Amino acid sequence: MKTITLAITGASGLPYSMRLLECLLQSGQRVHLAYSQAAQIVAKQELDFTLPNRPQDAEKMLAERLGKFGGELRVYGRDDWYAPMASGSSPGDAMVVCPCTMGTLGKIAGGISDDLICRAADVMLKEKRPLILVPRETPFSAIHLENMLKLSHAGAVILPPNPGFYHHPQSVPDMVDFVVARILDHLAVEHDLVKRWGEN
């Protein structure tokens, strides 16, 4: 069982993060989840459900929404400085920020750790653990690109949610699965969401 920190920020793309959460839990991983206030707004807009303010309520709601799974889920408040991922002594195996706003990406690039999400990402970089950022914006400004390059040099994986079409997707969930499959690949979590290039 791996310990994966999943952070959700207020960019468009909540279907990616919810599908990723589902896949991680179904594959038996331990997930430490944190989300921003803006992510709560986007969840309501894109998926028509409310992410609760209290972590305990969020754990119960997500467990009901996702159904039976073999992994473990813990939800932490964005100002919970006692959360495991806030310290280099307990960073977990990897972290994904999905989707990642340009504001969050910029703060991580600048070493600004004023909330749990940015602090956890800072910990991953300093401890040289996998950090995957899924930036959802278009077009990218020069500032965005410079921040992404800076983070790439620091060891982060920049994985924009750009679905491919060689697997002939038939639905929006198919395109979501393509992106989630690439994230799972970088986490070294096995899946069968999409056929790999060259497979029949």
Q: 193 in a domain, yes or no?
A: no
Q: 137 in a domain, yes or no?
A: yes
pLDDT score at 115: 96
pLDDT score at 198: 79
Alpha-carbon distance of 24 to 116, in angstroms, equals: 21
CA of 192: how far to CAs of 6, 27, 121, 153, 177, in Å? 21, 11, 28, 31, 10
How many folded domains does the chain comprise? 1
Length of the chain: 200
pLDDT score at 196: 84
Domain harbouring 109, CATH code: 3.40.50.1950
Q: 177 in a domain, yes or no?
A: yes
First to last CA, the chain: 31
Q: 21 in a domain, yes or no?
A: yes
Alpha-carbon distance of 88 to 68, in angstroms, equals: 31
CA of 96: how far to CAs of 6, 25, 92, 111, 185, in Å? 5, 14, 11, 17, 12
- The DSSP string of 54-119 is SHHHHHHHHHHHH-S-SSEEEE--TT-TTSGGGSTTS--SEEEEEEE-HHHHHHHHTT---SHHHH
Q: 197 in a domain, yes or no?
A: no
pLDDT in 10s for each residue of the chain, 200 residues: 999 999 999 999 999 999 999 999 999 999 999 999 999 999 999 999 999 999 999 999 999 998 889 999 999 999 999 999 999 999 899 999 999 999 999 999 999 999 999 999 999 999 999 999 999 999 999 999 999 999 999 999 999 999 999 889 999 999 999 999 999 999 999 999 998 887 76
Alpha-carbon distance of 121 to 116, in angstroms, equals: 9
Q: 160 in a domain, yes or no?
A: yes
Domain hosting 15: range is 3-187
Q: 126 in a domain, yes or no?
A: yes
Q: 200 in a domain, yes or no?
A: no
pLDDT score at 89: 94
